[in-house]
Structure 1
Amino acid sequence: MRGNDWGKLAEKAIRQEEISIGEGLAVLAAADSEVLPLLHAAFAVRQTFFGKKVKLNMIINAKSGLCPEDCGYCAQSIVSNAPVEKYTLLEKETLLAGAREALKRKAGTYCIVASGRGPTDHEVEQVVDAVAEIRATMPLKICACLGALSAEKAAKLKEAGVERYNHNINTHEELHPAITTTHTYQNRIETLQHVKQSGMSPCSGVIIGMGESDQQIVEMAWALKELDADSVPVNFLHAIAGTPLEGRPATKPLRALKILALLRFILPTKEIRVSGGREVNLRTLQPLALYAANSIFVGDYLTTPGQQMELDYQMIEDLGFEIEECAL
């Protein structure tokens, strides 16, 4: 496939017709010289459903380290030797201060992220207390990412005003046991089902660069489509020293752009967020990612630094795009 074929693929996506596995594989196998035509086609889909708006999100690392899980990519896991801060769930006032900072950074969504297998009852109550005050005083959407979640805890978060809950599938089901053994792929699906049943918006994405094949990448995109995830963070592995995946090579920028185009074709109406690792994988081609994606994080990630906010704002302006205001 090439040239006009990408346009036909975009037309299918705009009509919300299914993109086949074969068509998806053709996107990933495209020659590097096809990246600009491919992004042109992906942008036609993005513009149809999102115009030139860019959604901004900000993370607060609400609980760091102290995690019993053995996820190979994570600096906070029990098997990591990376030097990260370790602390229990932040106090309410600190979470409120983070929300105020999110507003200053022009973020529409404030993401409260905590390490661990899943939240205790007490931790859920702490988050509920903070979220209730944030929603009462600030024009922010709240996304929580606290690990595995029961139906009861999901209902409490929804009632407090948490609009979105993040729980990534991270990788392909077949590859999952090579990435972590302390929980299963199905455990992750169960949490997402509880999220959907509660009425919260499901947020689920992937980490690219952990050994997945092209076929698995396409199938991961299909899995997210079947889960009906409303927001899809696309992380590109930032291999941190001291983690089991230390030393893995970064995804090449042009390949990263092909993957983002693929996800836009398969998930035409969904928020696609270029997330962790964009700075070290996309490097100078970061602006091109927004021709397929429509969302980014501003500021730092959980344990790694992000691009300076001012550079993100300049990137958006130089593209002729605009920051989407929070609409509650």
Structure 2
Amino acid sequence: MQYAEKVMNGYTLTKEEALNVLQTPDSKILALIDDAYQIRHHYYGNAVKLNMILNAKSGLCAEDCGYCGQSVKADTGCSQYALVDEEKLIEGAEAAVNNQVGTYCIVMSGRKPTNREVDRVTDAVKSIKSLHPSLKICACLGLSTEDQAQKLKDAGVDRYNHNINTSERYHDEVVSTHSYQDRVKTIEIMKAHHISPCSGVICGMGETDEDIVNMAFALKEIDADSIPVNFLHAIKGTKFQDKDELTPNRCLKILALFRLINPTKEIRVSGGREVNLRSLQPLSLYIANSIFVGDYLVTNGQPNEEDYQMIQDLGFEIETNAFHTDPSIVKTL
């Protein structure tokens, strides 16, 4: 059954219908993509929003998230360094602007930031906003307090990312050092301080179809403005190093589900797209309207030029936030 027209008229799928989406036969995958594309095109046309990550503090995290190469519980040999200086944070923003990136994401490892770390980030954000007021800045610093949220808002942070990652039911299989509600609380704190909430998921960690459906509905309930859909890129040395549950078609069905349940939201095909979608990556942009360019935290993305070529070949266009830079400039992130 096609849902696009009903969804655009305000209909919310039932959980049974959502499960049917995930269980779409591979022979019907093009019809499902077309259904999702009608919604994507209705709200976003053929624009693709680019996001870029700066891994501003790496490794040495005391949390035990089973997917993460930065946990001290994992034996991955990832880079370890404290929060970079203000100059590096600003340089990252310059690279974002020169690559037509709409949202620049400052990401820190660790359970939560210290007040000193928040002050360094906010000082940098103020400088970046004075130079590039149209560049959206997303902070991803971990569990946060009311006071820290207000500092971030006052500095000009537009968005805060804190993923729910998985369903409430499956959460304890992924991490034991914080709760699902800890994550939701941080999102709600940011919303209360008028910072746009970004929250998403990682699929392929052993969750069930019902878990994925519940994730999509949980993010609808949270009212996340931006939803990054990550596909597990298993890292040697982590708890989930041997997980290999995804196929390209499975990833497309998951993206379609999130578009159907959260039709008006920025759906971002995120970490793991290169290794899980493989040659079907272009099809994901008929569903999602946003991608990361450049590298992720401890895994590599594909060369920027390949992403730009993919967008051009699809006949889509980059959402540029009215940057005052030459659109022909594409530097390596």
With the length of structure 2 as denominator, give the TM-score of the two structures. Answer: 0.96
- 2:317 maps to which residue? 322
Cα distance in 2 for residues equivalent to 1:263 and 1:153 = 30
Residue 111 of structure 2 is matched in structure 1 by 117
Tell me how far apart the structure 1 counterparts of residues 232 and 245 of structure 2 sit (CA, whole Å). 7
Residue 84 of structure 1: which of 78, 83, 95 is its match? 78
Alignment match, 2:15: 21
- What corresponds to 1:151 in structure 2? 146
Partner of 2:30: 36
Structure 1 stretches (4+) deviating beyond 4 angstroms? Answer: none
Residue range with higher mean Cα deviation, 242-251 or 306-315:
242-251
SS at match of 2:40: helix
Q: CA deviation at 1:11?
A: 1.0
Equivalent of 2:182 in 187, 204, 210: 187
Corresponding residue of 2:326: none
1:151-300 matches, cutoff 5 A: 151-300=146-295
* TM-score under structure 1 length normalisation: 0.97
Q: Secondary structure at the match of 1:242?
A: coil
Assess if the C-alpha contact under 8 Å between 2:206 and 2:245 holds in 1: no
Q: Displacement of 1:16 after TM fit?
A: 2.5
- Match of residue 58 from structure 1: 52
Aligned counterparts of 2:241 and 2:278: Cα–Cα separation in 1: 19
Question: Is residue 73–residue 245 contact of structure 1 (8 Å, CA) maintained in 2?
Answer: yes
The count of aligned residue pairs is: 322
Structure 2: 5+ residue stretches without partners: 324-333
Q: For residues 40-68 of structure 1, give each alpha carbon's deviation from its aligned partner in whole angstroms, at most 9, with x where no partner exists.
A: 11000000000000000000000000111
Cα deviation for residue 254 of structure 1 reads: 0.3
Structure 1 unaligned blocks of 5 or more: none
| Aligned-partner SS, 1:282 | helix
- The counterpart of 2:39, out of the listed 27, 32, 45, is 45
Render the CA deviation track for 1:148-190: whole Å, top value 9, x for unaligned. 0111111110110000000000001111111101000000011
Q: Does 1:97 align with 2:91?
A: yes
Q: Identity over aligned residues, as a percent? A: 57
Cα root mean square deviation, aligned = 0.9
Query: 1:327 offset after TM fit, Å?
Result: 5.4
Report the residue type matching 1:221 in the other structure: A
1:130 to 124, 128, 151: 124
- How far apart are residue 250 of structure 1 and its match? 4.5
8 Å contact 1:27–1:262 — kept in the other structure? yes
CA gap 1:38/1:154 in 2 versus in 1, 3 angstroms: same
Within 1, Cα distance between the matches of 2:223 and 2:322? 22
User: What is the letter of the counterpart of residue 66 of structure 2?
Assistant: G
